[in-house]
């Protein structure tokens, strides 16, 4: 602290006025005014919400539990007149433009809250959640009863709608009349769904993973038909099916939960799922076992890399070419025979089958590779027709 002193020296009838500036450090202890100001600034309450959760939802409002904490350095003598105010909102911002008031009240409890202490209670909002508003936002000490060190951290927001999505699905079987699949849905919203009974699933066969895309073919649907409540954060697993054979060029089954919009959700765009519903044949391995003047023999393993079984491999064929490079049936290649597999074997999704085959005829000069293709005759409608070939260097 700077103190300025003014000193006068008299010389006869004349006076010389000298002004001198002197710096003298002064501590808070020496100045009771400063000490009091510092103490007041340092010691103040600060209310925040440390947790909150919706406990019930009805047409007339929401019940929620909460915990507040005084994270300041001074106690609050009584919480009785401290209030909470609610707003329904399209976002997490309290009392934002367009928000709808949802009631409020004083806490009404004679409770002191020391510095660092917490208090838990229950509260409620008033009125149904308006369309387009997904959040319940609220503020502690709406009336400004408590003089806080920080008045900007008193709010909280809770997601006040359900949100359905698929977390898993898998093909369990298929036939000429459709595809069976298992699924799991989850309510990742902030409130429960009272009953899944009338929540529906709708199916489409598609050329891609987009639900109900241009050119998709409807594949049936139905309500779930189960009296099951789905709490916030809970999951439900079931089975479902599509109707009709998988159309050519439509390797995906896409489906949507809550097709009929029975559930008002916070996010209506995440309700779909897509499953690959065709086989996919490829060579998992191949190796040449013998080379004679008239044959190149090899062992092979094919795999159904798709999600649908192949009922019978009997008419699935292999075709061979001698080639100057690894490209199957390239310009200049020489046909080296082929045949159907001729085995009554079903190949489930993910399963493999091993056999042996051969290229016929002597290897032409300049042709150092044997190339071959599974399902040369396109008996199997596959999700990927571009991965059916293999090439082996001829020793």
Residue 65 CA to residue 84 CA, distance in Å, equals 12
Give buried/exposed letters for 214-250 (b at 16+ CB in 10 A, else e): eebeebebeebeeeeebebeeebeeebbbeebbeeeb
CA dihedral 109, 112, 115, 119 (to 10 degrees): -30
CA distance 168 to 236: 11
Q: Give CA–CA dist 385/267, Å, rounded.
A: 37
For range 71-90, the mean pLDDT? 98
47-159 shares its CATH topology with 281-393:
yes
Of 255 and 26, the one with more pLDDT:
255
pLDDT reported for residue 373: 98
**CATH classification for the domain delimited by 281-393, as one of 2.40.10.10, 1.10.3720.10, 3.40.50.300, 2.60.40.10:** 2.60.40.10
Backbone angles phi, psi at 95, to 5 degrees: 55, 45
Q: pTM for the whole thing?
A: 0.77
Under DSSP, is residue 35 helix (H, G, I), strand (E, B) or coil?
A: helix
Task: Report pLDDT digits (tens) over 161-176.
Answer: 999 999 999 999 988 8
The helix/strand/coil state of 33 is helix
What was the pLDDT predicted at 40? Answer: 52
The full set of domain ranges for the chain reads 2-42, 47-159, 164-276, 281-393
CATH superfamily of 164-276: Immunoglobulins (2.60.40.10)
pLDDT at 7 over 60: no
DSSP-assigned states of every residue in 16-29: EEEEEEEE----TT
pLDDT above 70 covers a percentage of the chain that reads 90
Q: Per-residue DSSP letters for 301-325?
A: EEEE-SSS-BS--TT-EEEEEEESS
Task: Residue count of the chain, please give it.
Answer: 395
Mean pLDDT, residues 226-251 taken together: 96
CB distance 125 to 190 below 8 Å? no
Question: In this predicted model, what pLDDT tens digit does every residue of 93-113 receive, in sequence order?
Answer: 999 999 999 999 999 999 999
Per residue, the 3-state secondary structure of 47-84, as one string, reads: EEEEEEEEEEEECCEEEEEEEEEECCCCCECCCCCCEE
pLDDT value at 23 more than 50 = no
pLDDT digits (tens, 9 = 90+) for 161-219: 999 999 999 999 988 899 999 999 999 999 999 999 999 999 999 999 999 999 999 99
| Token code pair at residue 391 | 């090439």
> Residue 274 contacts by C-beta under 8 Å, 6 or more apart in sequence?
206, 208, 209, 210, 211, 252, 253, 254, 255
Task: Output the CA–CA distances (angstroms, integers) from residue 304 to 35, 52, 248, 348, 383, in the order listed.
Answer: 82, 50, 18, 7, 11
Tokens of 280: 């996919």
Residue 197 has, within 13 A of its CA and on its CB side, a CA count of 3
Cα Rg of the chain (Å, integer) = 39
Separation CA 49–CA 70 (nearest Å): 9
- Is the pLDDT score of 71 beyond 90? yes
pLDDT in tens, 346-363: 999 999 999 999 999 999
pLDDT band at residue 127 under the 50/70/90 scheme: very high
Q: Please indicate whether residue 167 or residue 5 has the higher confidence score (pLDDT).
A: 167
Find out whether 334 and 322 touch, Cβ atoms under 8 Å.
yes
Third-level CATH fold of 47-159:
Immunoglobulin-like (2.60.40)
Which strands, in side-by-side order, build the sheet including 155-159?
100-106, 83-89, 135-140, 155-159
Examine the pLDDT at 296 and tell me if it is beyond 90: yes
């Amino acid at each position: 602290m700077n103190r300025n002193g003014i000193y006068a020296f008299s010389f006869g009838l004349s006076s010389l006025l000298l002004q001198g500036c002197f710096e003298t450090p002064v501590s808070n202890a020496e100045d009771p005014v400063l000490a009091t100001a510092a103490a007041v600034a340092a010691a103040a309450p600060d209310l925040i919400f440390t947790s909150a959760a919706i406990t019930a939802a009805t047409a007339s409002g929401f019940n929620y539990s909460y915990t507040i904490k005084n994270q300041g350095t001074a106690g609050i003598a009584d919480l009785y007149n401290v209030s909470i105010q609610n707003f329904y909102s399209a976002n997490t911002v309290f009392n934002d433009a367009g928000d709808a008031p949802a009631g409020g009240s004083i806490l009404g409890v004679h409770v002191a809250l020391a510095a660092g202490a917490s208090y838990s209670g229950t509260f409620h909002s008033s009125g149904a959640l308006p369309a387009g508003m997904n959040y319940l936002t609220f503020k502690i000490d709406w009336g400004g009863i408590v003089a806080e060190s920080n008045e900007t951290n008193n709010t909280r927001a809770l997601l006040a709608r359900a949100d359905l999505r698929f977390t898993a699905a898998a093909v369990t079987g298929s036939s000429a009349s459709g595809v069976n699949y298992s699924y799991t849905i989850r309510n990742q919203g902030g409130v429960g769904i009272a009953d899944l009974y009338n929540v529906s699933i709708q199916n489409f066969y598609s050329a891609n993973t987009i639900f109900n895309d241009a050119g998709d073919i409807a594949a049936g649907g139905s309500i779930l038909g189960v009296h099951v409540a789905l709490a916030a954060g809970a999951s439900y697993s079931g089975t479902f099916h599509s109707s009709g054979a998988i159309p050519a060029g439509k390797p995906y089954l896409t489906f949507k939960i809550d097709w009929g919009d029975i559930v008002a959700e916070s996010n209506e765009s995440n309700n779909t799922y897509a499953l690959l519903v065709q086989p996919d044949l490829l060579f998992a391995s191949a190796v040449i076992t013998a080379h004679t003047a008239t044959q190149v023999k090899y062992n092979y393993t094919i795999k159904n890399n798709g999600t649908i079984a192949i009922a019978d491999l009997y008419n699935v064929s292999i075709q061979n070419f001698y080639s100057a490079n690894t490209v199957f049936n390239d310009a200049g290649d020489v046909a080296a025979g082929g045949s159907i597999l001729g085995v009554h074997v079903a190949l489930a999704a993910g399963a493999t089958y091993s056999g042996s085959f051969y290229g016929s005829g002597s290897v032409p000069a300049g042709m150092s590779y044997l190339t071959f293709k599974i399902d040369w005759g396109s008996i199997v409608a596959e999700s990927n027709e571009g991965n059916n070939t293999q090439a082996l260097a001829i020793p």
